[in-house]
Chains A and B, each alone.
Chain A
Amino acid sequence: AQSVTQPDIHITVSEGASLELRCNYSYGATPYLFWYVQSPGQGLQLLLKYFSGDTLVQGIKGFEAEFKRSQSSFNLRKPSVHWSDAAEYFCAVGALMNYGGATNKLIFGTGTLLAVQP
């Protein structure tokens, strides 16, 4: 069965420090992988996605993620964190399903809450 694991529930970093949020997935074929961010009082916003090709994916707000098939991981990174990055981050994997046509159902991790210290 497909699954997504985000092992860190809470992470606190200092402003200006580097950040890495971990994501591991379980999937039988090449996955579609996503990172979302949810700021307080807001809906989910897509940061970046991986479908195929270059395993290092660039996203919005200075984030990047690297797909490592051998480790079944898709960790999110940012070289220098800003106070406005404090939010909850969700990793998700897309599973192909057929209803008379291909579509995707996302399976989400439980999220990692990022706090940023001044």
Chain B
Amino acid sequence: DGGITQSPKYLFRKEGQNVTLSCEQNLNHDAMYWYRQDPGQGLRLIYYSQIVNDFQKGDIAEGYSVSREKKESFPLTVTSAQKNPTAFYLCASKGTPTRATNEKLFFGSGTQLSVL
């Protein structure tokens, strides 16, 4: 079955450490997104990529980095520069709409990142 997979489900980070969250999709989608969710708040866009080898900053990109070397993969690195990394991270993907179809947004199951 096609879908979008995030790993790990839970991740702990030590002070000053970089950690990478994985997001893989086998839906042949062009666009991928990373969102952050904090308790009691909505989603905020960190980075997004419309096509391979290209990505743009979202609303809260500081302290994060991404890469899009393959269509299927859009890993997010939370760097030591991100001073408040504890949050729930959600990855999403979407195909390119055509005249006849609208590609739905697919979400991964999320990664909970906590600071030790």
Query: CB within 8 Å of B: which residues of A?
Result: 10, 32, 34, 36, 38, 40-41, 43-44, 46, 49, 51, 88, 90, 97, 99-106, 108, 110-111, 113
Contacts and interface: CB of A to CB of B under 8 A. Distances in A.
Contacts of A40: 97
Main secondary structure, interface of B, reads strand
B43 A110 contact: no
A108 B42 CA distance: 12
Given A36-B42, A110-B104, 13 more contacts: A36-B43, A40-B97, A43-B33, A43-B35, A43-B45, A43-B58, A99-B112, A101-B39, A103-B87, A103-B88, A104-B41, A105-B88, A106-B90
Interface residues of B, number: 28
Contacts of B92: 44
A6 to B, nearest CB: 11
Interface of B: 10, 31, 33, 35, 37-43, 45, 48, 50, 58, 86-88, 90, 92, 97, 102, 104-105, 107, 110, 112, 114
Contact of A104 (B40, B97, B104): B40
Contacts of B110: 105
Nearest to A10: B102
Contacts of B33: 43-44
A10 B39 CA distance: 31
